[in-house]
Amino acid sequence: MNLTKILSVVFFVIAIGLGYLLWKGVNDVVEEEKRIALLEAATIEKLEMLREAQLAYQAANGKYASSWDSLKMFIENGTIWLVQRTETTKLLDYGAEETTITYDTLGSVSVMDSLFNERKFPDFNIDLLPIVPGTGGKQFEFFADKVEKTGGYMVNVFEIRDPSPVNPERRANNNEKALRVGSRTDASTEGNWK
């Protein structure tokens, strides 16, 4: 075997090794992005479920739940009243309209059956609801209070936030862009992922 053939074999082996390392580096980045996307989707789903529970709690109690324990007790034992609203509009003699609104309570349904039934969430486990996916057991941060708005009136607010985002972009500036629903300063129930 001459020197040219030996160098060709050596360079071929080096090229295969470098090609594998390049493929492995790109594949690792793609797999990590997929993992982050899956964990964020699971976190968003839980935040949406917690928002629905908070809205039901607020409708029943006039304020938002400030802790997981109070929200859990409401989900397990609370009821949602079924109310029918009927509007009747009557045309008056001088062209104006008079609208009469009546409310009729039809009954109630438990929060668990209404919001977290098996049809919507077949694998629902209430004990895992406050756990952030992919964090090894960390719970969402809960906040609920009243804030004063312009004009001096008080507004109920809540915020449920991911304390340790898996996405490096969301960890910047002390988790400033962490996934959350609600707001500590505004009467918003929207999530920041939209």
C-alpha to C-alpha distance for 58 and 65, rounded to whole angstroms: 7
pLDDT tens for each residue of 84-100 = 889 988 888 787 888 89
Residue 166 makes CB contacts below 8 A (sequence gap 6+) with 35, 36, 39, 40, 134, 135
Residue with tokens 């004063």: 148
Query: What is this structure's pTM?
Result: 0.75
Cα-trace Rg, the chain: 27
Residue 171: per-residue pLDDT = 65
C-alpha count within 13 angstroms, C-beta hemisphere, residue 83: 9
In the predicted model, is pLDDT for residue 173 greater than 70?
no
- Per-residue pLDDT band at 174 (split at 50, 70, 90): low
- DSSP secondary structure string for all residues of 102-155: EEEEEEEEEHHHHHS-TTT-TT--GGGTTBPTTTTSPBPEEEEEEEEPTTS-EE
